[in-house]
Amino acid sequence: MILIVGGAGYIGAHVNKLLNESGYETVILDNLSHGHKEAVQWGTLCQCDIKDIDSIEKIFEEYDITAVMHFSSFIEVGESVQNPQKYYQNNVVNTLNLLNTMIKYDVKKFIFSSTCATYGVPQKIPLTEDHPQNPINPYGWTKLMVERILKDYDTAYGLKSIILRYFNASGADESGLIGEDHSPESHLIPLILDAAIAKREDIKIYGTDYDTPDGTCIRDYIHVNDLADAHIKALEYLEKNNTSNEFNLGNGKGFSVREVIDSVKKVTGKDFKVTETPRREGDPAVLIGSAQKAHELLGWTPIYDDIDDIVKTAWNWHKKLNKVNDDE
C-alpha cells in the first residue's frame, strides 16, 4: 500500500492514477486546501492534515503502508517571500511530522517531490544533480532543508529516500479525467490558456531583453504524466536497491515564453493580447535540466518532448475545466 500525501493535487493525482494502473494500492492523505476531491478517482481518500500527528498515525495503524510519496507542499515563490512562516511550517515542520511517523511505524521508503529551485541561479546549463544548491527564495530553502533532513534520517534511522527535482510540470492526462487546477493559478501554460479563452485580458511577458534567441526566458517543461512515470520508476528503484538517491526530472531542452505563447495560439487557433513588461527580480534567463542520471539509473525517458503535444493535453483539460466548446 502506497501512501500519497497531497494526492488530490495536480501532480499527486496523476501519480495516483498511474500507480493504480500499474497494480499498486494507494491511500491518499490530503486536507483538500489546494487539492480537489474529484481528482481522487483511485485509491482511498483520507481527508486530514499532516500537521495533525494523531490523524497520520491512524492511517499508518489502519493501512499496511510500505512506502510514502510526498507532494503536500506550498509552491508559490512570491508568497514564500511574503509569508515565509507559512512555508517553513508546512513544507518543513509538517514534513517532519510525516517522517517521524514513518520511523515510528517502521516505514523506510520515501519519495520526495523537490524542485530545481534548490539550485538557485544556474552556474552552468544544463543543470546536473551535482550543481551547487543555493536557493534564492524561502520556497527553495524549504525543499533543500527537507533534502538535508532526508540525508540525516538515512544515516540515523535507515530511512531510504528518492529526491526528485522537478522542472516545469505541465500538461494534463490525455483521458481528460484530471488536470491542472490551481487557485490562484501561477503556471505559464494555464495562464496563457486563460488568455486564449478570454478569462484574463492578456498574458504578460516579464522581460524581453534576456540573452536568449528571442529575448524571453527559457524553461524546461516536463509533462505531468512523464513525472508520474518517473515516480513509479523511482519506487521500483527503491524497492530493488534500498538505497537513497536524487534525480532531476526535465526534458533536457527548453522553450522560451514566446515559443509557448505561439504554441498556445497554434493549438487553440485563438489570438489574444500579449503585454511586454519589465523583468521580474530573480528570474534566470535559462533553466534547463539534465535528466541523464534518471535515464541511466531509472530507465526513464520523457515521452512528451514537443511543446505542442504538451499544450494540446493542457488545452483539452482546460476546455473541460472551463466548460469551453470547440466552436467558441
Using only C-alpha atoms, the chain has a radius of gyration, in whole angstroms, of 19
The whole model's pTM is what? 0.95
- The one-letter amino acid at 116: C
> Which has more pLDDT, 258 or 121?
258
pLDDT at 145 exceeding the cut of 80: yes
pLDDT in tens, 263-287: 999 999 999 999 999 998 778 899 9
Region for residue 261 given its phi and psi (left: phi exceeds 0; alpha: psi -120 to 50; beta: otherwise): alpha
CATH 3.40.50.720 maps onto the chain at 2-169+222-249
Strands (E), 175-288: 203-206, 218-219, 221-223, 245-249, 255-256, 274-277, 286-287
Active site residues: 139
Q: How many angstroms separate the CA atoms of 143 and 89, rounded?
A: 12
Cα 150 to chain centroid distance, Å, stands at 19
Residue with cell 512570491: 78
Report the candidate in 288, 238, 298, 254 with the shortest Cα–Cα distance to residue 131: 288
| SS3 state of residue 18 | helix
- The one-letter amino acid at 56: I
pLDDT in tens, 5-35: 999 999 999 999 999 999 999 999 999 998 9
CATH 3.90.25.10 maps onto the chain at 188-219+252-321
Phi, psi of 225 (to 5 degrees): -70, -30
**The CATH homologous superfamily of the domain defined by 188-219+252-321:** UDP-galactose 4-epimerase, domain 1 (3.90.25.10)
| SS3 state of residue 112 | strand
What confidence score (pLDDT) does residue 60 get? 97
CATH topology of domain 2-169+222-249: Rossmann fold (3.40.50)
Q: How many angstroms separate the CA atoms of 262 and 172, rounded?
A: 19
Residue with cell 519519495: 111
Q: What is the three-state SS of 65-95?
A: CCEEEECCCCCCHHHHHHCHHHHHHHHHHHH
Mind giving me the DSSP string for 28-67? EEE--SSS-GGG--SSEEEE--TT-HHHHHHHHHHS---E
pLDDT above 90 coverage of the chain, percent: 89
